[in-house]
Amino acid sequence: MPPLVIFDLDGTLAESKQPITSEMGMLVAKLLDVTQVAVVSGGALSQFLKQVVAKLPPDARLEHLYLLPTSGAALYEWRGDAWSKIYEERLSETEKETIETAIRAAAKETGCIDFSKSAWGERIEYRGGQVTLSALGQQAPLDEKKAWDPDHSKRHALHAVLKERLPNFSVGIGGATSIDITKRGVDKAYGIRKLCERLGIPESEVLYIGDELASGGNDEAVYKTNVRAENVGGPSDTERLIKSMVK
């Protein structure tokens, strides 16, 4: 059993922005009994609490759980009665504005998003350590999101333009419709390294499980570390994998 198992959230533990199933909650709790577990994703802490923590059984050993929201720009651990922030690489107001300007320009340049049309909630969200562009808005229905960019071409186009316009930041593809922007050098690999250091665990002993490890995918940065990475096809695949680990 690896001393630390790290999961991506959307597409791996749960469907995009959906809570984990009660079966998944039970399995993660089983894993927490025998090893340490971390979750890393582009969402904010509140999203992690809603999607994962609230769905764990009441006796789950939260002291073994580590949360890396905003793509690893922050780390939280459980201190008995609350989630305590260990670090956060926050973006300043000025940085946030620079990013927002670049996003609007990239949307126009690529023709991928028309900001004059209404969306399902905010398209640009400031999450402290990260600014996230969601092409259809934060609350877009799952079907709409899946249909928006099935071949990744829109995200790749936006990603390329934003990377060029924002050389002092890290730009990554998030979920089905989103692009995540953090401070330069801050990504999932950064968060994983920080957590391994904190726990004194060599990266090579860690197992990472994600659904987008392929080139250009949301989990690709993980390959900058020495962790062992396992690709899954979705949450049911992840359930099978955890079952094989805890039996």
Q: Which residues bind Mg ion (CB under 5 A)?
A: 8, 10-11, 211-212, 218
**Residue 64 beta carbon to Mg ion: minimum distance, rounded to whole angstroms:** 22
The residues facing 74 across adjacent strands are: 88
For the bound state, the minimum distance from the C-beta of residue 230 to Mg ion, rounded and expressed in Å, comes to: 13
HSE-up of residue 212 (Cα within 13 Å, Cβ side): 20
Contact indicator for 72, 56 with CB cutoff of 8 Å: no
Q: Report residue 132 CA to chain centroid gap.
A: 11
- Which residue sits closest to Mg ion, CB atoms considered? 11
**Spatial CB neighbours of 140, under 8 Å, sequence gap ≥ 6:** 119, 120, 121, 134, 177
CA 62/CA 52 separation, integer angstroms: 11
Beta bridge partners of 75: 87
**Residue whose CB is less far from Mg ion, 73 or 102:** 73
Q: Provide the minimum distance between the beta carbon of 172 and Mg ion in the complex, in angstroms, as a whole number.
A: 12
Q: Of the two residues 211 and 220, which places its CB atom closer to Mg ion in the complex?
A: 211
Q: Which is nearer to Mg ion, 67 or 102 (CB)?
A: 67
Q: How far is the CB of 11 from Mg ion (least distance, A)?
A: 3
Cβ closest to Mg ion, residue 40 vs residue 75 = 40
d(CA 165, CA 155): 15
Q: Are 91 and 132 in contact (CB under 8 A)?
A: no
Considering beta carbons, is residue 95 or 180 the nearer one to Mg ion?
180
Question: Nearest distance from residue 24's CB to Mg ion, in Å?
Answer: 14
